[in-house]
Amino acid sequence: MENLLLRREPFGGILAEQEGSKVRFLNHTGFEITYGIANGWSDNDIIHHIKSKYDVSNSSLVENDIKNFRQMISKVKDWDTAESLWKDSSDNKEIASIPALSAPLDLSWEVTKRCNLNCHHCYNDSHAINYEPNLEQIHSVVNELSSTRLRNIVVTGGEPLMREDLKTIIGWLRPLTFNLTLATNGTLINEQNIPWLGEMIDLVNLSLDAGNKFAYEKFRGRKGTFDKCLRGLELLVRKKVPVVIQTTISRFNIDSLEELADLAIEKGATAWIARLPVYSGRANQYKGDFLSRDEIVKKAPYLSEIRSRYKRKFAELQIGVNFVWSYGKPFNYVQQQDRAISCAAGTVSTLLTAEGTLVPCSLFSSTDFRSNVVWDNNFLKEWEIAQCMQTMRSLRLHQIRKCFHCEDYKVKCSSGCRAKSYLSGDLYSKDPDCGYLS
């Protein structure tokens, strides 16, 4: 179990990949069995522990549970990411609503709103609010989280490297998490900061949207930044920091994605993720820069071709959308049921904004779907009780009206993205990018 995170929770516990997105919810006996396995106990030791703790008389039932848990732990690759959010691994029964974790498993932390670029696609209009929390406010949350262990912390912005005290902040965050990621445009990475970045950061999400200077700088809104971005990428690779290239698909790059992929490979990037934009923040001002739904549908075969051509050249490659409308149905068919919606936002993950509020995920950052301010030891309280978080945990399929009656619901799209629906006016409407429902 060296690659798994086991954490006790009020309802039992969670078992999660340390590097990945898969999660299993455990009831109390399930947690104790998994704890015993993690500590190398024999089956007899675990049986004795369970019988003494829970007054269980039937050893054969416990023995069977242990067998099932050992098998589950040995086959993490077979876990289904969506199902694992709404099934209890202890008895494989459906969870009526997602229980509140004692703390998020994955945390994105917006340490500033400031940014040195002016990107057309930015869902976080970084120049609208130049606010950033002070060190005292940041440290109050660090102290509050010091008694737990997170799987992932992503330091984001704005551009985090705009902060001169970022090294101090990252030093505080490092002990809290297994994986510490920096989300950056790469242009401010230099010979002065690369030594400590290389030592303290596990992964970098680097924004790169084009393989040529003209398209990149047109999209990013600043001249002279393409070469700086590539220099930052080269410094990271030299320091052996894994780099994930993050690309937003637009009219600037849709016909030259191969050029971008080849450049990323040449420079030593580990992975490449190319997504469609989310119309929030500054992206609303530049909708003409992006492809319409019909245009993307027509490009689906092309995106599939690129995926096939480059998938073996990156450790991870994602391109396009989670489900491509009318072109392919990659999900397995399942029995229709009114199950809990399995989005990680607000259930296992959250974003702490620079203003000090929690939102379920970064796509909600420009909305009022947020908690109260969490400075002064209110982070865990707001994570548990904020209405936005409770709403995300209790979402069920019948509430997403059109999705529940969709003939193609057999496709496990999990009702698409709730943030996109909220941004289009209604949390309970269909995903505006869905093509199954016209």
What's residue 298's pLDDT?
A: 87
Q: Which among 41, 15, 56, 124 has a CA at the least distance from the CA of 365?
A: 124
pLDDT in tens, 317-326: 998 754 443 3
**What residues have CB less than 8 Å from 198, skipping those under 6 apart?**
236, 239, 240, 241
3-state SS string over the chain? CCCEEEEEECCEEEEEECCCCCEEEECHHHHHHHHHHHCCCCHHHHHHHHHHHHCCCCHHHHHHHHHHHHHHHHCHHHCCCCHHHHEECCCCEECCCCCCCCCCCEEEEECCCCCCCCCCCCCCCCCCCCCCCCHHHHHHHHHHHCCCCEEEEEEECCCHHHCCCHHHHHHHHHHHEEEEEEEECCCCCCCCCHHHHHHHCCEEEEECCCCCHHHHHHHHCCCCCHHHHHHHHHHHHHCCCCEEEEEECCCCCCCCHHHHHHHHHHHCCCEEEEECCCCCHHHHHHHHHCCCHHHHHHHHHHHHHHHHHHCCCCCEEEEECCCCCCCCCCCCECCCCCCECCCCECCCEEEECCCCEEECCHHHCCCCCCCCECCCCCHHHHHHHCHHHHHHHHCEHHHCHHHHCCHHHHECCCCCCHHHHHHCCCCCCCCCCCCCCC
At residue 83 the predicted structure's pLDDT band, cuts being 50, 70 and 90, is very low
Look at the block and give the residue holding tokens 């400075």. Answer: 375
Q: Provide mean pLDDT across the span 265-274.
A: 97
What's residue 36's pLDDT?
A: 97
Q: Which residue type, as a one-letter code, is found at position 23?
A: V
Give CATH 3.20.20.70 domain extents, the chain: 106-320
* Three-point CA angle 166, 153, 204, nearest 5°: 70
Distance CA(200)–CA(179), nearest Å, equals 10
**What residues have CB less than 8 Å from 149, skipping those under 6 apart?**
5, 7, 176, 177, 178
What's residue 328's pLDDT?
A: 36
What's residue 278's pLDDT?
A: 79
Distance CA(393)–CA(26), nearest Å, equals 17
What's residue 319's pLDDT?
A: 87
What's residue 279's pLDDT?
A: 72
Q: Which among 206, 188, 207, 204 has a CA at the least distance from the CA of 250?
A: 207
Question: Quick check: pTM over 0.85?
Answer: yes
Sheet containing 316-320, strands listed edge to edge, beginning at the edge strand earlier in sequence: 316-320, 271-275, 243-248, 203-207, 177-184, 150-156, 106-110, 349-352, 358-359
Supply the Cα-derived Rg of the chain in whole angstroms.
Answer: 22
Angle between helices 59-74 and 28-38 (to 10 degrees): 60
What's residue 324's pLDDT?
A: 43
pLDDT in tens, 346-382: 999 999 999 999 999 999 998 999 999 999 899 999 9
Q: Which among 60, 2, 10, 8 has a CA at the least distance from the CA of 31?
A: 8
Of 234 and 118, more confident: 234
What's residue 395's pLDDT?
A: 85
Q: What are phi and psi of 169, to 5 degrees?
A: -65, -45
Kindly report which listed range (22-31, 194-203, 332-341) carries the lowest average pLDDT score.
332-341
Q: Which among 86, 29, 38 has a CA at the least distance from the CA of 63?
A: 29
What's residue 335's pLDDT?
A: 42
In terms of Cβ atoms closer than 10 Å to its own Cβ (0-12, 13-18, 19+), residue 214 is exposed
CATH number of 106-320: 3.20.20.70
Answer whether 409's CB lies under 8 Å from 431's CB: no
Neighbour tally for 135: CB within 10 Å: 13
